[in-house]
Amino acid sequence: MMTRKFHRLRRISGALLLILLVGLPFLRINGESALRFDVPTLRLLFFGTSIWMQDFFIVLIAVIFLTFLVLFATTLFGRIWCGWLCPQTVLADATSFMDAPRKRGYAAGAAASAAVGAIGSIIAASMIGYFVSPYDLPSLFKTGGASVTIVLGSWVALTVILFLDLVAVRRGFCATVCPYAKMQGVLFDDRTLVVAFDDQRAQECKECLACVKACPIKIDIRKGAHMACIHCAECVDACTERMAQRGRQPLIGYFFGVPGKRRTGVRVNPLITGVLAAGSLAFLMYLSLTRMPFDMNVRLNYIGNTKVRADGIMTTLYELSLRNMVNTDLVLDLSASSSAAPAGAVRISPDAVLLKQGTDIMKMPVFVTLAQKAGAGNRPVMVTLTLRSKQLNKSISKPVLFMVPKN
């Protein structure tokens, strides 16, 4: 009986990944794309969170964590990424009709190429959606200009690249282009999960070559590991089917290490990559939890100078540059203080500000007043401006100089 268990599971996982790839740009959270790098504002939208350029070190740490996580998974489960999750493999499986179109004639080959072109154009459009929201495209095309040229040019270029990849390169990408495939040999040890032939039962093989015929790149798994093998398990399904006809277990399957040989001791590679992945994850969580939801920069307005009233109260003008880095409106309190002045001697106006969602840079003037007796002669006074959110229990402070007039 034909089961093809792994083939069906891979097709299901591939279909889900394609749906996720194409559909994710259309998913919105709090009115923004779930996942998109917004080029005009230079911020990464990540499932309800906005990561601005000044916080991009968080993305760097996330990339480091994912790198070590993939390396850790590789040391344990081998080429599970290559055979089940890699976009190249998923797209090659989705266009499996291109594996041998010439055998069906010129018309069939042309039709298959046209279908690949259509699929490539859809995938290319979805990839652009990770930089330009699909919901913004109608107004963008209506407005015209250089943005439309860039979007259309990118779509055409990506479509051509995907078409050439899926027609000419296909599964050869793993053995010729992909650096990850070449690196995995260093990460594997004698207990890594692999697809292998059980040499201890080699005498049971009937040389039917079903495993070779089922392999997308015609590898003979009986001869050992091969760089181009992605552990797709098509050979496992083929051998399972043939051996089931004889009432026996398959000769090819998933094994942790060499079939029939048990190993003991500490596994160095999983230990190192696992510790590094856990450490980078802990650091990433710390950065995410301590990340400021807003930012403030202060600049002294030298043009305004310091004004002195008859009662000795001095006033200086500053310019604040505020940024909202969360996807909600923020009501923030402003306050000013100085170690050189008693409590209440330093005041700021206005003392509150509404920072709208998605605000990149909002500039606003503020006036800081200081009693003349609080200053030490004619020397500048150090004043601290504080921006606080009671709702988020977060605050940021910036020191500035309060210029005291000489006369």
The CATH number of the domain holding residue 306 is: 2.60.40.10
pLDDT tops 90 at residue 197: yes
Mean pLDDT over 211-229 rounds to 87
**Are residues 305 and 225 located together in one domain of the fold?**
no
pLDDT tops 70 at residue 159: yes
First vs last Cα of the chain: how many Å apart?
100
The conformational region for residue 28 under phi > 0 = left, psi -120 to 50 = alpha, else beta, is beta
Please name the helix (run of DSSP H) or strand (run of DSSP E) that holds residue 393, with its range, or none.
none
Q: Give the separation between CA 405 and CA 381, rounded to whole angstroms.
A: 11
pLDDT tops 70 at residue 376: no
pLDDT tops 70 at residue 304: no
Decide if 332 is inside a domain.
Answer: yes
Question: Where a domain ends, among 237, 256, 275?
Answer: 256
Residue type, 238: A
Decide if 154 is inside a domain.
Answer: no
Decide if 348 is inside a domain.
Answer: yes
pLDDT tops 60 at residue 375: no
Predicted pLDDT at 389:
92
**Are residues 318 and 383 located together in one domain of the fold?**
yes
Predicted pLDDT at 343:
67
pLDDT tops 90 at residue 186: no
Predicted pLDDT at 229:
87
**Which residue did the predictor score with more confidence, 105 or 232?**
232
**Are residues 252 and 342 located together in one domain of the fold?**
no
Q: Give the separation between CA 267 and CA 260, rounded to whole angstroms.
A: 19
DSSP state at residue 404: P
Predicted pLDDT at 356:
87
pLDDT digits (tens, 9 = 90+) for 243-264: 998 889 999 999 998 887 777 7
Q: Give the separation between CA 336 and CA 318, rounded to whole angstroms.
A: 12
In percent, the amount of the chain with pLDDT more than 70 equals 94
Residue 350: cis peptide before it, omega within 30 degrees of 0: yes
The domain of 320 spans: 294-402
Please name the helix (run of DSSP H) or strand (run of DSSP E) that holds residue 91, with its range, or none.
helix 87-94
Q: Give the separation between CA 27 and CA 20, rounded to whole angstroms.
A: 10
Decide if 323 is inside a domain.
Answer: yes
Mean pLDDT over 84-109 rounds to 81
Decide if 300 is inside a domain.
Answer: yes
Residue type, 407: N
Structure-block tokens of residue 124 = 């290319």
Predicted pLDDT at 66:
94
Q: What share of the chain is helix, strand, coil (3-state, %, to 5)?
A: 45, 20, 30
Predicted pLDDT at 334:
94
Decide if 123 is inside a domain.
Answer: no
**Are residues 214 and 302 located together in one domain of the fold?**
no
Task: Domain count for the chain, please give it.
Answer: 2
Mean pLDDT over each residue of the chain, to the nearest integer = 87
pLDDT tops 80 at residue 102: no
Choose among 130, 10, 21: nearest CA to 82: 10
pLDDT digits (tens, 9 = 90+) for 318-351: 999 998 888 788 999 999 988 777 766 888 999 9
Which sign does the torsion angle of CA 230, 232, 238, 241 carry? Answer: positive
Stated pTM of the model: 0.79
**Are residues 298 and 363 located together in one domain of the fold?**
yes
Q: Calculate the alpha carbon distances from 217 to 97, 126, 171 in Å.
A: 14, 29, 7
Decide if 209 is inside a domain.
Answer: yes
**Are residues 205 and 304 located together in one domain of the fold?**
no
Cβ contacts of residue 46 below 8 Å, gap of 6+?
A: 34, 35
Predicted pLDDT at 218:
87
In angstroms, how far apart are the furthest CA atoms of the chain? 107
Q: At which residue do the structure tokens 């015929």 appear?
A: 213
Predicted pLDDT at 1:
45
Q: Give the separation between CA 343 and CA 357, rounded to whole angstroms.
A: 33
Q: Give the separation between CA 49 and CA 35, rounded to whole angstroms.
A: 9
Predicted pLDDT at 226:
81
Decide if 330 is inside a domain.
Answer: yes
pLDDT digits (tens, 9 = 90+) for 69-91: 999 999 999 998 888 999 999 99
Structure-block tokens of residue 169 = 């390169």
**Are residues 244 and 303 located together in one domain of the fold?**
no
